[in-house]
């Protein structure tokens, strides 16, 4: 099996995550889709590390995880704050900043 | 002419007081405001008189020196010191300036005295006096400045004072408009003066009289010609000469003492002073001199013709002023042969015209401010003093010997004939014709006002004016009797001014013997008087101006269409230009600006719909954008 | 360091067969789970499906000679992050399910076009990408963790420090965002007492009665009886009431003495 299959899987998961971000309205689900995209990117990094024969890709994937963790913490805090004031977790309800 | 001749040989620390005293008066009166209502007019008159006394002191000091060392100067401070451009604020008093100083302060003081009574019932008498003092100060600065730039300051100062005084009764819109008109027309002349200053600075790097005089001579003919033409424009503006004469008639809107002081005796003669003072410029520029002569001749006839048709006594006198200044300008244009006569006529005119204006004011004072001569008549019985003094002025202006006008005007006509060649004959006869017309319209004024049947309204009670008014008139009429003979006797004024304006000038052989010219002038005057006698004494004068008059009368009544001309040639096109520019501005410039704005506004209205506020839309756009960038990158790799 | 799956020797540029088998079993499942994740209505289900995808990925990491990342993926991601998600879901409401009807016109079509186009472009690019296969055997000779550590603390030490600062900042940010500002002073005990006893007060004067005094039932879901024998609904937790788990109070009401059998017994 060609290791490129991992990359194809990564591309597919990334695109699915993107569709989820664009189509879902529940902020938490949107967030999970973002996580999916990040994970897909990580898979690509890990695969590239293997293809190239060095560990730099894995280090980047590691950093990505750390950043994703930060993002989740802050993002969920924002969702909670919005939910507290608007009683809704729908991203479509927070649409006051518009034309 | 010696180019290096120094204008001033000594110094005098008194000069600044000439200007400072009236300037102080104006400042005090304007700052003190209503608090000085009670004593303001007295202070102003006293300060003007004090200035006159200083002038007399200077005159006697000057008389004690001999001809070439009479000019004195006083350095005040360094005004501008920028690189090579250095202007000192300094004063210069020579034989020419002293004539003006005494005329300004002397006549000025008399008119101050007159105004005390004339303006007695005016609520704003103090303000009037502060303006009068301001005018005296500015006019003295004008004649005492030792450079074109210093002169310019005074020049603008008198313009301001004139504006303020013409519009003194600015509660009447017509008067305010007249003030504005005078100011605007004067600006055109002022522009000429500023051009002259710029030319002097550019060409010679100096603007002082002495500095420019040092460069005078045939080698700078071109520059001097342009400078002379610019100065002529300035003189025409200030002295109401053709083609900038239109403001003077309307300037009679001001109180009569103002008309007498500013618009007859002093300010309007500033142009003549300017030409005479700049004699070194004009002597180097024959073309400019010829233009001066032409302007003078045209104006003297122009003013005289207007004078024949005016029924308003002040406007008739104003037209006469214009015409008489035309004589002076003509004389000044004749060069060293004429400067002295221009100044002589200026001085005598200052006396008799001021006296006549004050007389007219006295008549108006007694006739409830009526100015229409057709509503006067037979006033010689009601106002004998005014009648006699006005009559003396009349005899002076038409040039009856031995009154002062005879000497000065006669000399100018003589100088005109002596100009030589066909030019001499043309301007000589024009001057003679002017003398005849002058005699005609002045006789008309005299007859309409003091002779004939009484035509005044029933409610008018003509009476003689108070002594405070008649006294200055009497003094002035003494001047109008004696001044001419005094100046002409032994050519005293001519010799007095010679060091300033006619150094080294030798009179040529006259074209006509002086006696011949005098006789011709007298004949012309007699013809004018006779014609007026036929028209206005033998035929009863109507109280209302007849309307079925000849087209020439109509022309003259409308100031020979000068206003119509200005309006048609300058004002209307200006208005059209303004309108066109305004239209252009509104439609094209604003259109472009607003159009651009509207374009982006309209686009924004549509484009802003993209900003739905839905974060999902934005995410989608990012996704599509990322896909496009990816596509572009891949396409670039292929 | 192919711990489990990689079989040596293998064709250059190819993975071993066991890994291929693993991939072909798990990859479709991961894609299926991911697709389901974006189409199920309940957020909890989405979270569980995502956890499954993450575990799959962890297995792939291990298969790809990244055992450290695989473990971290399971511990940190599937363990901590997904638990955080579930926790927040609980806060926001577990039961809330999305309507899947699209409200923005053209969003679905555009999303599909965009995402599929993106996927096609990416996959197309992979075909042209680097085709060599170096393998990590050499890099992992000292152990995967040691190799990563060496890189982290040498070449990537600056990024490492920056990321640590980012973590602290994120923690602070979450605290700031989660903090609720009091708009009024906290009422003192005295004020609360006064409030309770004021006429018309909605607060009870005394502490609420405890639920359930009957041994024959789980006491928490049975309301207390007031001295007059009537049950007090306020003694039962609101949660239970909302859930419909409160027992009918009628059964426990005190009967009058005349009717009561217990008394007579």
Question: What's the pLDDT tens digit per position in B222-271?
Answer: 888 999 999 999 999 888 888 888 888 888 888 888 888 887 788 888 98
Q: Cα dist. B136→B20, B41, B158, B166, B253 in Å?
A: 10, 14, 8, 15, 20
Q: Is C134 within a domain?
A: no
- Contacts of residue B335, defined as CB under 8 A and 6 or more positions apart, other chains included, come to B279, B282, B283, B289
Chains that touch A (3 or more CB pairs under 8 A): B, C
* pLDDT score of C252: 64
Q: Is B78 on the interface with A (CB under 8 A)?
A: no
Chain A nearest-CA residue for C87:
A76
**Distance separating alpha carbons of residues B466 and B358, to the nearest angstrom:** 13
**Distance separating alpha carbons of residues A74 and A84, to the nearest angstrom:** 15
C-alpha neighbours within 13 Å on the C-beta side of residue C12: 3
Residues of A in contact with C76 (CB under 8 A): 65, 69
> Please, which pLDDT band fits residue C213 given cuts at 50, 70 and 90?
low
**Distance separating alpha carbons of residues B295 and B317, to the nearest angstrom:** 20
- Domain tally for chain A? 1
Picking from C93, C108, C132, the residue at the C-terminal end of a domain is C93
Q: Tokens for C155, please give them.
A: 């070449």
CB C85 within 8 A of CB A69: no
State yes or no: cis peptide before B402, omega within 30 of 0: yes
Q: Tokens for C116, please give them.
A: 């599929």
Instruction: Give the pairing type, strands C224-225 and C231-232.
Output: antiparallel
β-bridge mates for residue B90, sequence order: B75
Q: Which residue has the tokens 């189409």?
A: C39
Q: Is A92 on the interface with B (CB under 8 A)?
A: yes
What mean pLDDT value characterizes chain B?
85
Q: Is C128 within a domain?
A: no
Q: Is A25 within a domain?
A: yes
Percent of chain C with pLDDT over 90: 29
Question: What's the pLDDT tens digit per position in B291-300?
Answer: 899 999 999 8
Residues of B in contact with C110 (CB under 8 A): 620, 624
β-bridge mates for residue A26, sequence order: A90
Residues C20 and C81 in one domain: yes
3-state class of B77 per DSSP?
Answer: strand
Q: Tokens for B212, please give them.
A: 């420019």
* pLDDT score of C7: 42
Range of weakest confidence among B68-72, B167-171, B227-231, C81-85: B68-72
pLDDT beyond 70 at C217: no
In whole angstroms, how large is the CA radius of gyration of chain C? 31
DSSP B344-370: HHHHHHHHHHHHHHHHHHHHHHHTTT-
CA geometry: angle B66, B68, B70, nearest 5 deg:
65
In whole angstroms, how large is the CA radius of gyration of chain A? 17
> Please, which pLDDT band fits residue B420 given cuts at 50, 70 and 90?
confident
> Please, which pLDDT band fits residue C67 given cuts at 50, 70 and 90?
very high
pLDDT beyond 80 at B450: yes
Q: Tokens for B256, please give them.
A: 């009569």
Residues C89 and C23 in one domain: yes
Name all contacts of B154-161 with Cβ < 8 Å and 24+ positions apart.
Answer: B155/B190, B155/B193, B155/B234, B155/B238, B155/B270, B156/B190, B158/B238, B158/B262, B158/B267, B158/B270, B159/B183, B159/B186, B159/B190, B159/B238, B160/B134, B161/B131, B161/B132, B161/B134, B161/B135, B161/B262, B161/B267
**Distance separating alpha carbons of residues A59 and A78, to the nearest angstrom:** 29
> Please, which pLDDT band fits residue C10 given cuts at 50, 70 and 90?
very low
pLDDT beyond 50 at C263: no
C-alpha neighbours within 13 Å on the C-beta side of residue C35: 9
**Distance separating alpha carbons of residues A76 and A71, to the nearest angstrom:** 8
* pLDDT score of C59: 94
Residues of B in contact with C101 (CB under 8 A): none
The domain containing residue A55 runs over which residues? 1-84
As to burial, measured by CB atoms within 10 angstroms (0-12 exposed, 13-18 middle, 19+ buried), residue B488 is buried
* pLDDT score of C215: 47
**C interface mutation test: which of B612, B616, B622, B627 has the most C CBs within 10 A?**
B627
pLDDT beyond 80 at C3: no
In whole angstroms, how large is the CA radius of gyration of chain B? 30
* pLDDT score of C57: 94
C193 versus B578: the higher-pLDDT residue is: B578
What does residue C246 show for φ and ψ, rounded to 5 degrees?
-80, 135
Question: What's the pLDDT tens digit per position in B12-66?
Answer: 778 888 888 999 988 888 888 888 888 888 888 999 999 999 999 888 888 888 7
CATH of the domain at A6: 1.10.287.3510
**Distance separating alpha carbons of residues A51 and B248, to the nearest angstrom:** 103
DSSP B494-509: HHHHHHHH-TT-----
Picking from C56, C73, C93, the residue at the C-terminal end of a domain is C93
CATH of the domain at C41: 1.20.120.1200
Q: Cα dist. B268→B3, B48, B238, B272 in Å?
A: 29, 19, 6, 8
CB A43 within 8 A of CB C60: yes
Closest partner residue to B611 (CB to CB) among A21, A91, A99 is: A99
What does residue B8 show for φ and ψ, rounded to 5 degrees?
-125, 140
Residues of B in contact with A92 (CB under 8 A): 614, 616
Closest partner residue to A56 (CB to CB) among C91, C96, C151 is: C151
Closest partner residue to A39 (CB to CB) among C23, C57, C129 is: C57
> Please, which pLDDT band fits residue B539 given cuts at 50, 70 and 90?
confident
ipTM given for this complex: 0.93
* pLDDT score of B206: 84
Q: Which residue has the tokens 């686009």?
A: B603
Q: How far is CA B85 from the centre of its chain?
A: 30
Strand ranges for C66-197 from DSSP E: none
CB B268 within 8 A of CB B239: yes
Closest partner residue to B634 (CB to CB) among C107, C110, C121 is: C121
pLDDT beyond 60 at B5: no
User: C86-103 b/e with 16+ CB inside 10 Å = b?
Assistant: bebbeebeeebebeeeee
Residues of A in contact with C169 (CB under 8 A): 70
- Domain tally for chain C? 3
Task: Report the number of secondary-structure helices (H) and strands (E) in chain C.
Answer: 9, 2
* pLDDT score of C214: 55
pLDDT beyond 90 at C60: yes
Q: Is A58 within a domain?
A: yes
* pLDDT score of C159: 93
Q: Cα dist. C257→B467, C62, C261 in Å?
A: 135, 75, 8
- Counting as low any pLDDT under 50, the low residues of chain A are none
Chain B nearest-CA residue for A95:
B613
- Contacts of residue B385, defined as CB under 8 A and 6 or more positions apart, other chains included, come to B464, B465, B470, B473, B474
**Distance separating alpha carbons of residues C42 and C7, to the nearest angstrom:** 42
Instruction: Give the pairing type, strands B72-82 and B10-11.
Output: parallel
Residues of B in contact with A23 (CB under 8 A): 616
**Distance separating alpha carbons of residues B398 and B524, to the nearest angstrom:** 10
Picking from C172, C188, C213, the residue at the C-terminal end of a domain is C172
Q: Is C188 within a domain?
A: no
* Terminal Cα-to-Cα distance of chain A (whole angstroms): 52
Q: In what order do the strands lie in the sheet with B85-93?
A: B10-11, B72-82, B85-93
User: Of the segments B560-574, C26-40, C119-133, which one has the largest average pLDDT value?
Assistant: C26-40
Q: Is C108 within a domain?
A: no
Nearest-neighbour CA in chain A from C103: distance (Å): 9
As to burial, measured by CB atoms within 10 angstroms (0-12 exposed, 13-18 middle, 19+ buried), residue B563 is middle
Classify the phi-psi angles of C235: left when phi > 0, otherwise alpha if psi is within -120 to 50, otherwise beta.
alpha
Q: Is B611 on the interface with A (CB under 8 A)?
A: yes
3-state class of B11 per DSSP?
Answer: strand
Range of weakest confidence among B262-266, B422-426, C178-182, C252-256: C252-256
The domain containing residue C20 runs over which residues? 15-93
Instruction: Give the pairing type, strands B72-82 and B85-93.
Output: antiparallel
Average pLDDT over residues B588-612: 88
> Please, which pLDDT band fits residue B202 given cuts at 50, 70 and 90?
confident
Chain B nearest-CA residue for C106:
B617
Q: Is A3 within a domain?
A: yes
Alpha helix (H) ranges present in A1-99? 4-23, 27-52, 56-86
Average pLDDT over residues B148-155: 90
* Terminal Cα-to-Cα distance of chain B (whole angstroms): 94
Average pLDDT over residues B181-195: 90
User: What stretch of H or E contains B246?
Assistant: none
CB B133 within 8 A of CB B44: yes
> Please, which pLDDT band fits residue C257 given cuts at 50, 70 and 90?
low
Q: What does the H/E/C string look like for B17-40?
A: HHHHHHHHHHHHHHHHHHHHCCCH
Chain C positions touching chain B (beta carbons under 8 Å): 104, 107, 110-111, 113-115, 117-118, 121-122, 124-125, 128
Q: Is A94 within a domain?
A: no
What mean pLDDT value characterizes chain C?
80
Range of weakest confidence among B192-196, B383-387, B557-561, C258-262: C258-262
pLDDT beyond 90 at C243: no
User: What stretch of H or E contains B89?
Assistant: strand B85-93
Q: Is A79 within a domain?
A: yes
Q: What does the H/E/C string look like for C82-112?
A: HHHHHHHHHHHCCCCECCCCCCCCCHHHHHH
Q: Is C185 within a domain?
A: no
Give the torsion through C-alpha atoms of C199, C202, C208, C209, to 10 deg. Answer: 80
Residue whose C-alpha is closest to residue B462's, from B368, B543, B366: B366
Q: Is A1 within a domain?
A: yes
Q: Is A37 on the interface with B (CB under 8 A)?
A: no
Q: Cα dist. C87→A91, B173, C44, C47, C76 in Å?
A: 19, 87, 10, 11, 15
Average pLDDT over residues C131-158: 86
**Distance separating alpha carbons of residues B10 and B24, to the nearest angstrom:** 26
What mean pLDDT value characterizes chain A?
89
**Distance separating alpha carbons of residues B413 and B327, to the nearest angstrom:** 9
Chain B nearest-CA residue for C114:
B624
């Amino acid at each position: 099996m060609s290791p490129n299959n991992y990359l194809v899987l990564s591309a597919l998961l990334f695109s699915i995550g993107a569709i989820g971000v664009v189509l879902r309205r529940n902020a938490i689900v949107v967030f999970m889709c973002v996580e999916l995209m990040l994970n897909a990117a990580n898979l690509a990094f890990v695969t590239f590390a293997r293809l190239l024969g060095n560990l730099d890709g894995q280090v980047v994937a590691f950093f990505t995880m750390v950043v994703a963790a930060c993002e989740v913490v802050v993002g969920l805090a924002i969702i909670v704050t919005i939910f507290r004031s608007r009683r809704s977790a729908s991203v479509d309800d927070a649409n006051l900043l518009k034309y | 002419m010696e180019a290096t001749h120094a204008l001033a040989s000594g110094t005098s620390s008194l000069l600044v007081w000439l200007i400072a005293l009236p300037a102080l008066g104006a400042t005090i009166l304007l700052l003190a405001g209503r608090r000085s209502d009670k004593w303001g007019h007295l202070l102003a008159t006293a300060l003007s008189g004090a200035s006159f006394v200083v002038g007399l002191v200077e005159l006697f000091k000057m008389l004690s020196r001999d001809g070439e060392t009479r000019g004195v100067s006083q350095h005040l401070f360094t005004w501008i010191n920028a690189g090579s451009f250095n202007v000192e604020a300094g004063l210069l008093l020579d034989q020419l300036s002293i004539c003006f100083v005494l005329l300004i302060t002397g006549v000025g003081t008399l008119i101050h005295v007159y105004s005390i009574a004339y303006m007695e019932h005016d609520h704003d008498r103090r303000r009037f006096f502060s303006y009068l003092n301001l005018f005296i100060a500015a006019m003295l600065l004008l004649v005492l400045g030792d450079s074109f730039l210093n002169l310019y300051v005074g020049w603008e100062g008198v313009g301001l004072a004139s504006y303020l005084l013409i519009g003194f009764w600015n509660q009447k819109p017509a008067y305010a408009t007249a003030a504005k008109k005078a100011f605007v027309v004067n600006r055109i002349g002022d522009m000429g003066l500023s051009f002259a200053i710029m030319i002097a600075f550019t060409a010679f790097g100096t603007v002082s009289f002495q500095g420019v005089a040092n460069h005078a001579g045939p080698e700078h003919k071109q520059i001097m010609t342009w400078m002379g033409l610019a100065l002529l424009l300035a003189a025409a503006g200030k002295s109401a000469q053709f083609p900038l004469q239109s403001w003077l008639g309307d300037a009679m809107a001001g109180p009569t003492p103002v008309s007498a002081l500013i618009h007859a005796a002093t300010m309007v003669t500033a142009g003549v002073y300017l030409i005479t003072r700049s004699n070194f410029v004009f002597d180097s520029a024959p073309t400019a001199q010829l233009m001066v002569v032409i302007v003078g001749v045209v104006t003297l006839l122009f003013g005289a013709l207007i004078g024949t048709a005016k029924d308003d006594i002040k406007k008739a006198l104003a037209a006469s002023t214009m015409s008489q200044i035309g004589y002076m300008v003509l004389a000044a244009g004749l060069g060293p042969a004429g400067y002295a006569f221009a100044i002589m006529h200026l001085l005598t005119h200052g006396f008799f015209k001021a006296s006549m204006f004050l007389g007219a004011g006295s008549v108006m004072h007694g006739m409830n401010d009526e100015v229409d001569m057709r509503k006067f008549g037979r006033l010689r019985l009601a106002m004998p003093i005014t009648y006699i003094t006005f009559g003396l002025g009349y005899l002076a202006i038409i040039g009856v010997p031995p009154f002062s006008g005879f000497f000065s005007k006669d000399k100018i006509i003589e100088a005109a004939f002596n100009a030589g060649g066909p030019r001499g004959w043309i301007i000589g006869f024009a001057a003679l014709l002017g003398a005849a017309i002058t005699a005609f319209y002045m006789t008309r004024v005299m007859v309409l006002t003091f002779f004939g049947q009484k035509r005044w309204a029933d409610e008018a009670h003509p009476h003689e004016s108070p002594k405070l008014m008649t006294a200055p008139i009497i003094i002035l009429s003494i001047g109008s009797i004696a001044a001419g003979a005094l100046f002409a006797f032994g050519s005293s004024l001519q010799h007095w001014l010679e060091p300033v304006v006619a150094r080294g000038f030798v009179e040529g052989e006259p074209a006509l013997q002086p006696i011949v010219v005098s006789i011709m002038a007298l004949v012309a005057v007699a013809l004018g008087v006779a014609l007026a006698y036929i028209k206005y004494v033998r035929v009863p004068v109507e109280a209302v101006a007849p309307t079925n008059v000849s087209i020439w009368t109509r022309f003259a009544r409308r100031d020979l269409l000068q206003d119509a001309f200005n309006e048609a040639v300058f004002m209307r096109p200006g208005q059209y230009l303004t309108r066109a520019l305004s239209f252009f501005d509104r439609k094209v410039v604003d259109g472009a600006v607003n159009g651009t704005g509207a374009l982006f506004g309209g686009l924004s209205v549509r484009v802003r719909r993209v900003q739905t506020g839905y974060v999902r839309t934005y995410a989608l756009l990012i996704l599509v954008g990322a896909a496009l960038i990816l596509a572009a990158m891949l396409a670039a790799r292929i | 360091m192919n711990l489990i799956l990689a079989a040596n020797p293998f064709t250059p540029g190819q993975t071993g067969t066991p890994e291929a088998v693993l991939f072909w079993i798990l990859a479709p499942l991961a894609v299926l789970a991911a697709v389901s994740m974006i189409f199920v209505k309940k957020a909890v289900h989405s979270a569980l499906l995502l956890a499954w995808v993450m575990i799959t990925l962890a297995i792939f990491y291990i298969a790809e000679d990244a055992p450290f990342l695989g473990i971290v993926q399971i511990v940190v991601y599937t363990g901590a992050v997904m638990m955080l998600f579930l926790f927040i879901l609980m806060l926001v409401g577990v039961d809330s399910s999305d309507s899947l009807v699209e409200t923005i016109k053209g969003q679905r079509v555009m999303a599909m076009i965009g995402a599929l186009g993106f996927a096609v472009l990416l996959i197309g690019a992979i075909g042209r990408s680097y085709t060599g296969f170096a393998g990590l055997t050499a890099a992992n000779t000292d152990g995967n963790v040691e190799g990563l550590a060496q890189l982290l603390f040498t070449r990537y030490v600056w990024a490492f420090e920056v990321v640590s600062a980012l973590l602290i900042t994120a923690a602070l940010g979450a605290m700031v965002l989660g903090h609720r500002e009091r708009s009024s002073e906290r009422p003192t005990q005295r004020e609360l007492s006064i409030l309770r006893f004021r006429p018309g007060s909605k607060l009870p004067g005394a502490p609420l009665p405890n639920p359930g005094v009957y041994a024959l039932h789980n006491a928490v879901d049975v309301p207390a009886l007031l001295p007059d024998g009537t049950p007090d609904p306020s003694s039962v937790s609101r949660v239970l009431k909302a859930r419909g788990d409160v027992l009918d109070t009628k059964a426990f009401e005190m009967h009058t003495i005349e009717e009561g059998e217990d008394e007579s017994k």
